[in-house]
Amino acid sequence: MEQLKELEQVQNIMLMIQSTGAIDSSNNTNADSNRFLANFILFMMQPCGELDMNQKCKLISNHFPKISSAFNKESSPQLCDKGNIVTEASLSHHCDDDMSVGLLQTDCADVAMVTLDSMQRCRSYFMFHEMDANNAESIFKYLPLLSFTESYIYQLDTINEKLLQLPSDGIPDSDMMTPDWILRFIKSFKNDTFKPLAVLLESYGIYTDRIRDELKCGEEYWALERKLCSALTNKQEIQIEDVMRAIHLKSFDYRVLNLLLYQLNGKDINETHMEFLSVSEFLVEVSDDLFDYEDDVLENNFNILRMFVRIHGASSAPAFLAKTIIEAEKKYNSLLNTLDPQLSFKYQKRCEEATKEGGKVFGPPLGTWSIPPIIEDEDLYRTNSV
């Protein structure tokens, strides 16, 4: 939980300096710079004897120019060897190593695995609970629990994606001759996958049947993803019913977070809002799949366009997908009109902000849909991309 507390402090500082206009929150290319500044400010705020902020700034101004980049390069390895510093690069390398990444069972288990994109998207749900996403107190009241839940799910999703890269038709039997890290992954999905999370939520008195059902939807989605992606790589038949079921299940984690907010706020679930958001989630997932199409081909991840290409053929897939999007947009617009006018306005405004932040379509009212060039021979594409 210590990392979550630090995350809360850093995010609080970022919100504060964003409100002053000192940093640009709309430009994702500055994300690393903004995070560095927030961490630096947090460091500067730590007490150090009788030094005040002005004295600290003066010390840095006078002495930091003397610390050359050459000194940093020479000293960093020595410090790392002595165990005094773990650099961000080395930590990232450790967690990306196929033979050592266990996620839930290895040294990386203590690393918070939650994406900025997922938490920004979660902000869009706050208004449905009469919460202000720009209010730090409103956000951080529930951030630790929401972040932990999303991190737990994201870790499992990462494990599932690792399993998709195995040369097999689904999860192999545990008695097969496989590396230890694969066996750990298999164990994660053969046992009660969400039991540790369920126990935690039960301890807070917020684990409901509805949340349990959504978590089961997550297990179903991962099973479908393995099944469909294995069928793709093995040139097997794919059923459209499985594809549409998977794309609708894919946003289960956001529904879990949304249901948690109802519990944390002590309010009944608004089914009208849930129905509207489910359609919005579907359109977001399709948009994300179009944006990530090439990467998903390379990594053999579930992607609705990949599935439509297999089912309908390369020439017809874009038209069938466009028809699916149009039907969903009609339902989206119809349900949007059932919302309170003020809530509808806020949500559309938030969608516009998200589009600027992410550089991709967030919902149907925004921009135009763009279907990327179809990759007919995925094996050849992967080979040429090596």
Q: Give residue 240's pLDDT.
A: 97
Average pLDDT, the chain: 76
| C-alpha pair distances (Å), 109 with each of 92, 163, 183 | 13, 18, 16
Q: What is the mean pLDDT of residues 209-233?
A: 95
Alpha helices, DSSP H only, in the chain?
A: 2-19, 31-44, 53-63, 69-81, 88-96, 116-126, 136-140, 143-164, 180-190, 195-203, 209-233, 240-249, 252-265, 271-291, 293-299, 304-312, 317-336, 341-358, 378-385
Does residue 82 have a pLDDT over 50?
no
Q: What is the mean pLDDT of residues 162-191?
A: 59
Give me the CATH topology for the region 113-385. Answer: Farnesyl Diphosphate Synthase (1.10.600)
- Label residue 232 by pLDDT band (50, 70, 90): very high
Q: Give residue 291's pLDDT.
A: 92
pTM for the complete prediction? 0.67
Half-sphere exposure of 219 (CA within 13 A, CB side): 14
CA–CA separation, 70 vs 74, rounded Å?
6
Q: What is the mean pLDDT of residues 104-109?
A: 38
Half-sphere exposure of 145 (CA within 13 A, CB side): 20
Q: What is the mean pLDDT of residues 328-341?
A: 95
Whether residue 238 contacts residue 307, with contact meaning beta carbons closer than 8 Å, is answered with yes
- Label residue 94 by pLDDT band (50, 70, 90): very low
Q: Quick one: tokens of 61?
A: 């101004």
What digits encode the pLDDT tens for the residues 275-294?
999 999 999 999 999 999 99
Does residue 65 have a pLDDT over 70?
no
Question: Percentage of residues in the chain with pLDDT exceeding 90?
Answer: 42
Q: Identify the weakest region by mean pLDDT among 126-130, 259-263, 374-378.
A: 126-130
The CB density around residue 313, as the number of other CB atoms within 10 Å, is: 12
